[in-house]
Each structure stands twice: as structure tokens, then as C-alpha cells.
Amino acid sequence: MKSVELVKDVPAYIRSMYTENHFMNTFGVHIDEIKCGHVVVSIKLDPAKHFNHRDICHGGVMLALADSVLGVTGASVGAAVATLNFSMNFIKGVHEPTTLYVHSSIKHHGHSTMVIEAELTDSDKHLIGTILTTMFIGDRFKEIPAKW
């Protein structure tokens, strides 16, 4: 069996995996922080692109940002994941241009499933929403250690 060399700089390697992610690039989603089992992504809101007809940030933008953190969070422990279940509670509307952040954390890492919790905040650290997801672990990134 051929051994796989583990990546030394996991955050840089994962960022390189997502450089060609058309969705994240089109919407302006940035990967701000990658730690083992914890990730932060953000988006700088542009009212012309991200606000709805009532001049508030569209819920779909917030959902898309929240969903963007999940694959990166799985990859941070070497897991290639797909969303099985996604639940988001909207706490507060966003009426002004700001940067939104999603902070994720793995709460369960089993053989075939992973549970990730996350919080959506604005640049003033106001809680905008909470997220709870169950992910299917379909494969492993053998070059990324499960703990680092």
C-alpha cells in the first residue's frame, strides 16, 4: 500500500482547493480562518447584489454563506462531505451594508456523518442566525490529517 504524504500547511492547502470554486468566487465568499474542526468564512455585503426589494439582506444570501462553510469545515479534518440536513434560525435582519461572518465548529465526527454548528454574525458581532447541519462523509482527503 502506497503511503500518502500529509500536508504540512493545512489551511493553505484547503484554500488552494477552493480557489476555483465558482460559487464562492462569484458571490465574494472569503475563507478567513481555518483551524482543525473550526472555520470562518465571510462576505462583504453589497446592497445592489445581496439585498432584496425590501432593502434587507436576502435570506438566501445568508443561507448560501452558511452552506459555504460546511465543505471547508469537513476538509479541515480531512473529510469530503455533502449536506444531508440543514437548519437555520434567522435571529436578526441585516439592513445596512456590513460584512457577514459564519463561525463553524464540528460537534460530532463519526464514521459516516458529521454534525456542524455555526453562528452567523455581522461586523459588529451581532448574532444574525444560528445553523445546525448534518453532513454525510463520502470520502477522505487522505493528505489532510484528521487532527493537526
The 10s digit of each residue's pLDDT in 94-115 is 999 999 999 999 999 999 999 9
> Residue 14: inside a domain, yes or no?
yes
> Residue 1: inside a domain, yes or no?
no
3-class DSSP state of 27: helix
Please compute, for residue 26, the number of CA atoms within 13 A of its CA located in the half-sphere on the CB side: 6
CA distance 64 to 58: 10
> Residue 73: inside a domain, yes or no?
yes
> Residue 147: inside a domain, yes or no?
no
20 DSSP assignment: T
Confidence (pTM): 0.93
64, three cell numbers: 448560501
11, three cell numbers: 489551511
Tell me, rounded to whole angstroms, the distance of Cα 120 from its chain centroid: 10
Contact criterion met (CB below 8 Å) for 116 and 77: no
Domain count, the chain: 1
The model's pLDDT over 5-52, given as tens digits with 9 standing for 90+, comes to 999 999 999 999 999 888 898 889 999 999 999 999 999 999 999 999
> Residue 148: inside a domain, yes or no?
no
The CATH number of the domain holding residue 23 is 3.10.129.10
The model's pLDDT over 133-143, given as tens digits with 9 standing for 90+, comes to 999 999 999 99
Q: Which residues form the domain of 91? A: 10-140
> Residue 145: inside a domain, yes or no?
no
CA distance 111 to 106: 14
Which DSSP helix (H) or strand (E) runs through 61? helix 59-75
Percent of the chain clearing pLDDT 90 (strictly above): 91
